[in-house]
Amino acid sequence: MGGVDKALVVFAGQSLIAHVLDRLEPQVDRVLISANGDAARFAGFGCIVVPDDRSQGPLSGVLACLKRAREMGATHVVTTPCDTPFIPGDLVPRLLLAAESAPEGLAMARDDSRDHPATAVWPVGLAAALAEYLASGGGKVTGFTGAHGAVTAHFPDARAFLNLNTPEDVAAAEAWAKGAA
65-91 pLDDT tens trace: 999 999 999 999 999 999 999 999 999
Average pLDDT, the chain: 93
The CATH architecture one would assign to domain 6-180 is Alpha-Beta Complex (3.90)
- Phi/psi of residue 59, each to 5°? -65, -25
Is the dihedral angle over the CA atoms 123, 153, 89, 62 positive or is it negative? positive
Q: What is the pLDDT of residue 178?
A: 77
Q: What is the pLDDT of residue 1?
A: 58
- pTM here is 0.92
Q: What is the pLDDT of residue 128?
A: 98
Residue 64 CA to residue 55 CA, distance in Å, equals: 10
Neighbours of 96 (CB within 10 A): 17
Domain ranges of the chain: 6-180
Q: What is the pLDDT of residue 76?
A: 97
pLDDT in tens, 107-161: 999 999 999 999 999 999 999 999 999 999 999 999 999 999 999 999 998 889 9
